[in-house]
Each structure stands twice: as structure tokens, then as C-alpha cells.
């Protein structure tokens, strides 16, 4: 495929992304102005305030998506299960004790 194809595909993505963000800002503003001022007495949001609120929430909550790993184990878990299945019972017990000494610092009754 030519470079021009990828350039226009990238421009198309950026335009659609900008439209999505603009639409989400409008939705946040409308929902806020519909419910929050009436329930709490706080002031209404402007469009710019709604966009900034979306950015603030994203910064506080994080940028990680859950759909990428949904239904799959993480790499380290798969790697650990492989090592665990190849260990003898004595090695497993030694590893359990090592984890207990490191992570379980409370007294056992």
C-alpha cells in the first residue's frame, strides 16, 4: 500500500478521534447540567469545563483499558505456572515459605 493511503487513513483517524472527544464533551456537559445543579446546587458546566473534567477524570482513573487483556492471563502468570508445574513438591513448599516470610508478616494462630 502506498504512503498516501496510510497518510489519509491517519488523518481520517485523527478527525474521527477529535469528533468523538467533542461529542463526549457535549454529553458530559449536558448530563452534568441536567442533574448536578438541581441536586447539589453547584453551578452549570461550560463546554470547556466539561472537556477539562473529562481530562481530570482520565488522569485520576488512569489510561489503562480492560478490553485488551479480557479473558487472557498475563504473561508473567503463564510463565509462573510453567515454572510451578516443573517444580518438585519440596521446591513448591520452599517457595510457599519464602512468600509467607515476605508477604505474611502477621502471627499465625
Domain boundaries along the sequence of the chain: 3-103
Three state DSSP letters for the chain:
CCHHHHHHHHHHHHHHHHHHHHHHHHHHHHHHHHHHHHHHCCCCCCHHHHHHHHHHHHHHHCCCCCCCCCCCCCHHHHHHHHHHHCCCHHHHHHHHHHHHHHHCCCCCC
Query: What's the predicted TM-score (pTM) here?
Result: 0.53
The whole-number pLDDT of residue 98 equals 86
Instruction: Name the residue with cell 464533551.
Output: 25
Mean pLDDT confidence for 74-94: 82
Give residue-wise pLDDT tens across range 62-82.
Answer: 776 655 555 555 667 777 788
The whole-number pLDDT of residue 103 equals 74
Contact indicator for 108, 96 with CB cutoff of 8 Å:
no
Amino acid at each position: 500500500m502506498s504512503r498516501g493511503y496510510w497518510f489519509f487513513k491517519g488523518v481520517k483517524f485523527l478527525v474521527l478521534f477529535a469528533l468523538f472527544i467533542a461529542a463526549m464533551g457535549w454529553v458530559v456537559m449536558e448530563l452534568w447540567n441536567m442533574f448536578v445543579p438541581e441536586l447539589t446546587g453547584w453551578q452549570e458546566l461550560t463546554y470547556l469545563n466539561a472537556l477539562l473534567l473529562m481530562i481530570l477524570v482520565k488522569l485520576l482513573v488512569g489510561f489503562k483499558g480492560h478490553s485488551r487483556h479480557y479473558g487472557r492471563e498475563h504473561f508473567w502468570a503463564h510463565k509462573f505456572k510453567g515454572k510451578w508445574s516443573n517444580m518438585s513438591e519440596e521446591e513448591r513448599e520452599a517457595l510457599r515459605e519464602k512468600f509467607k516470610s515476605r508477604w505474611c508478616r502477621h502471627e499465625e494462630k
